[in-house]
Amino acid sequence: MPRPYLRSGQSCQLFSKETKSPRVTEVRTMSYNTHEVENKWQRTWSEARVFEVEVDPSKPKFYCLEMFPYPSGNMHMGHVRNYSIGDAMARFQRMMGKNVLYPMGYDSFGMPAENAAKKEAGHPHSVTERNIAMIRADQERMGYSYDWRRMFATSTPEYYRWNQNMFLKFFEAGLVERRFAPVNWCNDCDTVLANEQVKNNRCWRCGLEVVQKDMAQWFLRMTEYADELLEELDKIEFPENVKAMQRNWIGRSQGAHIDFSVVGSDSVIGAFTTRPDTIFGVTFLTLSPEHPLCEELVSGTEYESAWLELRNECARMTEFERINMLKEKKGVPLGRFAKNPLSGEEVPIYAGNFVVASYGTGAVMAVPGHDQRDYDFAKKYGISVRPVLSRERDGEAIEENPVFDGLGWMINSNRESFDGLHGNEAKEAVISALEAEGTGHGTVQFRLKDWLLSRQRFWGTPIPMLHCDDCGVVPVSLDDLPVELPLDVKFSWEDSGNPLATNQEFLEATCPQCGKNARRETDTMDTFYDSSWYFMRFADSNNIARPFDPDKVNYWMEGGVDLYIGGIEHAVMHLLYARFFTKATRDLGMNLVGEPFGRLVCQGMLNAPAPFCVKCNSEYHVENFGGDCPNCGGKLSTRSVKMGKSLGNTISPGDMISKFGADTVRLFILFGANPEAGMDWSDSALEANNRQLNQIVDAFKIGSNIKSSPSDMDNWLLARLLDNRTRWTEAMDDVSLREGVMISHFEMLSDWQWYRRRGGSHAPTINRFLSSWAEMMAPATPHIAEEFWESLGGLGLVASNTLSEISDLSVRDWSEILASEEYLRDLIDSARNLKVLAQKHSDIPITKMVVQTALSWKAELAYEAVKLSRTNFDFKTKGQEYLKNLKIFEKESMRGEIFQTWMAMTAGSKKKRGRVNTWSEGQKNLVLGHFDETSVINKNSSFIASSLQIDTVVSYSVGDGEDVAGKAKVSFPLEPGISFI
């Protein structure tokens, strides 16, 4: 049973306040008081608590989440786009009857708060609190439907105590490690960085060049999960580029670890290679200049100084120099030799600037015969080249440049049984031989490193560990959590480093093992740790006994977050950490799911115009608009580039809301581009969307004040409603928001306008149409939709209702009324074009249109053709035979014309397909139903006449009147001959 969706006897008061102004009554477009409307509904929603949800196993759940923001002050347009997408989907899924979890929180630990605190000599805590209040107010102003009860900030002890709690559990499980390691250090930020946070050897945050330091650091053993992280990428619904980036980052490569013993020494050089099948082609080894063995090998020899020079050069090089220098491969001999474990050959050892210390073992077995880089190196230093793979079976291995680096057949092995093996078989044979002789083994190498977790910063989660002189490194006991950050800390530019390190009160602790004094760890956690599990906390935000209740998490997280929306910049870091974390907590028994995110949508860039110099190919700050290029003095043009502070081409959401209202901003954002696509900011497009919204307001105003009289158009309107809503539901379900909004905010309006133009005016139909329309508008423009809903007397709130039932419409066959209207539209369209042409042949203005519809035998033929086409009749082979047996075909004089018509209907010509293939279902129904074109045209003659701006329209079947302008011959079923007088 369809749910009743209207209260009876409602009078319409839609925006009656607006009509007070005498000016407005003249203006045909209604505008509305956005602030009043938006405030009113935001208040109503909040009071009715419609967005508050709880676990309810009887309903399907939908977890809609946006990457929570770092609170840096006011909300910016990128946020607006992110949340407008999420909110539309959350609201849509609620309408679809889902139990929707849609939370918001703040990722509030991090460096910027420290810097701000220094600037104003305050505390990061107060800076953060203030910023959270600002961004939250902005979010509320946009009307986002969050369950605010679940809100939290990660910088509160209520949250970060669970960071610590889980850290200790990871520690117990052996996932935490403290070790000395060469780390990436940023002088500006005064802290180490994880590998993921170094971009082109620069700090991801401040851009300063990263230097290497050796320090004791805390690691999370993410590499334990490397395989699973890689393999499950195939199963999850991430965009391809994100998957590619993660695969790239994890960088699994399969190969062999091979030990080369150093001649005249006990040392062994382990090398990783993906091509063990080329082992017989090794003619030298290359170590990274930093390799510890280098020093040992050259110490006290004539080679020492050259090596030292190379090592120092590599160590002090800036990034720019390094890139430049690496165009040239450079190396020095170390004066020693290593023994190839399979061939027994002794090959020279080099140090090379191109060998990366941190990848693999920092040593490369060089095969110049089959590796381009090794080949170039060998040629430069006069080292021999030995090809050991052939392109063909039983072929030769030849030295060539560029080298052959594909898989081939082994040859020139100086041991039995290897020659003739190919590709993977060859690799396996070599590995088995190495394993049998204890000189190597098959192995997998990852580019992914363990997660370097510790930061030497204040504003983060304190790592809950203690340093005891007697017991060493000891975990804080679970009962002593949280280890809180002290609030009585002053920040200033003079003090560099971590204030925790000098805070006596914080530092002093008691060792839980021996009871003596201990020193607290002063490193805090990388803030990516905070965001690696926040989505699970949202399932149970206010739990004070544990991070989250497993039952709640398992309900909400089943299959992962259903829709996760955020920026592509987190493709590797956040998304990889969170995936790892979820698997780790799963293995601790805290949750069932292993992959945190189901469908991931990465919103596109938001661009805005900025001055641009074509010649210099660079963009400038907006203050240069109208001026000349600061670089070359040439004329500046405009280009759309990513919105950002550096160019000043930002748009303030607050200003836009004040000017046009939240609904217009949301409509613009959603209509401007699909979520994944980049989008350009345009003031004129924003204004156009505002006009569109005002037109809709106008439609509702007219629609609820109508004199009622039924007509055929009512069925048409309901048919359009059914079609639109079906397509809308599909589009929205697929997160194709642009398409969804196009239907709900554009096509619905133009259908409404056509209905009105055609004289539609029936209150029950209109009510039905408008109330469904109000629902369809709710995800994108919720405030105005709610206003419409109320004015129509709808029950409850659109925000909490499920979509009203329209299945009663779908049982009816609307194709004929749709086709008939389409016929009329097409007729007017072609007549309009023809009229222009006809006018050229006439000296006096055209006043009359004559429409000659096709003769009945043509309609009969069409009927036969359509009927046959429904049975998958093969017109090509059997069509002519069928035609010849028809009664009409008996008239010999007409056979030529009949044949032509039949062919046009069925087989078509080379260039045009037969009508049975091109007619829509509705058109076919018209043909089958013996659609009376003449009477439809005559019935609508005055409408057609006014559309075409002529006086009279007459229609008759060919032969029933004068053949004006000889148009009888072109008449065809559904394509009448049209002439103008």
Partner RNA sequence: GCAGAGGUACCCGAGUUGGUCAAAGGGGCCGGACUUAAGCUCCGGUGCAUAGUGCUUCGCAGGUUCAAAUCCUGCCCUCUGCACCA
Residues 400-439 that bind RNA (CB under 7 A): none
Chain-centre distance for alpha carbon 295 = 50
Is residue 127 a contact residue for RNA (CB under 7 A)? no
Runs of H (alpha helix) within 570-661: 573-587, 653-660
Residues 946-975 that bind RNA (CB under 7 A): 947, 949, 964-965, 967, 970-972, 975
Residues 532-571 that bind RNA (CB under 7 A): 568
Is residue 251 a contact residue for RNA (CB under 7 A)? yes
Choosing from 59, 832, 884, 930, the residue that interacts with RNA (CB under 7 A) is: 832
From the list 552-560, 803-811, 839-847, 925-933, the region that binds RNA by CB under 7 A is 839-847
What does the alpha-carbon distance between residue 882 and residue 618 come to, in Å, rounded to a whole number? 70
Chain-centre distance for alpha carbon 911 = 42
Is residue 398 a contact residue for RNA (CB under 7 A)? no
In the complex, least distance from residue 868 CB atom to RNA, rounded to whole angstroms: 17
Residues 458-487 that bind RNA (CB under 7 A): none
What contacts 28, CB < 8 A, 6 or more positions away? 698
Contact indicator for 861, 898 with CB cutoff of 8 Å: yes
Q: Cβ closer to RNA: 210 or 466?
A: 210
Q: Given the DSSP bridges, would you call strands 952-957 and 848-853 parallel, antiparallel or unpaired?
A: parallel
In the complex, least distance from residue 602 CB atom to RNA, rounded to whole angstroms: 10
Is residue 691 a contact residue for RNA (CB under 7 A)? yes
In the complex, least distance from residue 441 CB atom to RNA, rounded to whole angstroms: 15
What's the number of CA atoms in the CB half-sphere (13 Å) around residue 352?
26
Residue among 197, 214, 230, 186 at smallest CA distance from 357: 214
Residues 840-899 that bind RNA (CB under 7 A): 840-842
Residues 38-67 that bind RNA (CB under 7 A): none
Q: Cβ closer to RNA: 235 or 911?
A: 911
What does the alpha-carbon distance between residue 966 and residue 859 come to, in Å, rounded to a whole number? 20
Q: Cβ closer to RNA: 328 or 495?
A: 328
Q: Cβ closer to RNA: 126 or 343?
A: 343
Give the angle 611-613-615 at the CA atoms, nearest 5°: 175
Give the angle 721-726-729 at the CA atoms, nearest 5°: 120
**Burial of 201: CB neighbours in 10 Å, binned 0-12, 13-18, 19+:** middle
Residue among 167, 27, 138 at smallest CA distance from 78: 138
Is residue 920 a contact residue for RNA (CB under 7 A)? yes
Residues 197-216 that bind RNA (CB under 7 A): 199-200
Residues 209-248 that bind RNA (CB under 7 A): 240-241, 244-245, 248
What does the alpha-carbon distance between residue 974 and residue 894 come to, in Å, rounded to a whole number? 21
Residue among 172, 360, 195 at smallest CA distance from 274: 360
Choosing from 19, 705, 830, 942, the residue that interacts with RNA (CB under 7 A) is: 830
Is residue 739 a contact residue for RNA (CB under 7 A)? yes
Choosing from 212, 305, 917, 935, the residue that interacts with RNA (CB under 7 A) is: 917
Q: Give the DSSP per-residue string, 873-896.
A: --HHHHHHHHHHTSSGGG-GGGHH
**Site map 695..734 versus RNA, x via CB under 7 A:** x--x------------------------------------
What contacts 100, CB < 8 A, 6 or more positions away? 53, 61, 62, 63, 64, 90, 93, 94
In the complex, least distance from residue 440 CB atom to RNA, rounded to whole angstroms: 13
Residues 778-797 that bind RNA (CB under 7 A): none
Choosing from 3, 17, 28, 891, the residue that interacts with RNA (CB under 7 A) is: 28
Q: How many residues does the chain have?
A: 981
Is residue 450 a contact residue for RNA (CB under 7 A)? no
Is residue 35 a contact residue for RNA (CB under 7 A)? no
From the list 42-50, 268-276, 508-516, 786-794, the region that binds RNA by CB under 7 A is 268-276
Residues 147-206 that bind RNA (CB under 7 A): 199-200
**Site map 296..335 versus RNA, x via CB under 7 A:** -----------------------------xxxxxx-----
Look-up of token digits 């560099």: 496
In the complex, least distance from residue 906 CB atom to RNA, rounded to whole angstroms: 13
Q: Cβ closer to RNA: 393 or 840?
A: 840
Is residue 275 a contact residue for RNA (CB under 7 A)? yes
Q: Cβ closer to RNA: 473 or 749?
A: 749
Q: Cβ closer to RNA: 645 or 911?
A: 911
Q: Cβ closer to RNA: 308 or 568?
A: 568
Q: Cβ closer to RNA: 63 or 668?
A: 668
What contacts 274, CB < 8 A, 6 or more positions away? 253, 254, 255
Residues 596-655 that bind RNA (CB under 7 A): none
Is residue 255 a contact residue for RNA (CB under 7 A)? yes
Q: Cβ closer to RNA: 491 or 671?
A: 671
From the list 12-20, 131-139, 273-281, 523-531, the region that binds RNA by CB under 7 A is 273-281
Q: Is the dihedral of CA 434, 439, 441, 446 positive or negative?
A: negative
In the complex, least distance from residue 445 CB atom to RNA, rounded to whole angstroms: 7
What contacts 329, CB < 8 A, 6 or more positions away? 352, 353, 354, 373, 376, 377, 380
Residues 351-370 that bind RNA (CB under 7 A): 353-357, 359-362, 364-365
DSSP designation for 54: -
Read off the tokens for 135.
């961004």
Residue among 30, 34, 140, 22 at smallest CA distance from 83: 140
DSSP designation for 796: S
Is residue 86 a contact residue for RNA (CB under 7 A)? no
**Burial of 428: CB neighbours in 10 Å, binned 0-12, 13-18, 19+:** middle
What does the alpha-carbon distance between residue 89 and residue 100 come to, in Å, rounded to a whole number? 10
Give the angle 161-502-509 at the CA atoms, nearest 5°: 50
Judge if the upstream peptide bond of residue 675 is cis by omega within 30 degrees of 0. Answer: no
Number of shown-chain residues binding RNA (CB under 7 A): 99
Is residue 753 a contact residue for RNA (CB under 7 A)? yes
Residues 281-300 that bind RNA (CB under 7 A): 288
User: Strands of 465-468's sheet, edge to edge?
Assistant: 472-475, 465-468, 517-520, 508-510
Is residue 108 a contact residue for RNA (CB under 7 A)? no
Is residue 673 a contact residue for RNA (CB under 7 A)? yes
The one-letter amino acid at 209: E
Q: Cβ closer to RNA: 69 or 362?
A: 362
Helix (H) or strand (E) holding 632: none
Contact indicator for 768, 718 with CB cutoff of 8 Å: yes
**Site map 756..775 versus RNA, x via CB under 7 A:** -x------------------
Is residue 98 a contact residue for RNA (CB under 7 A)? no
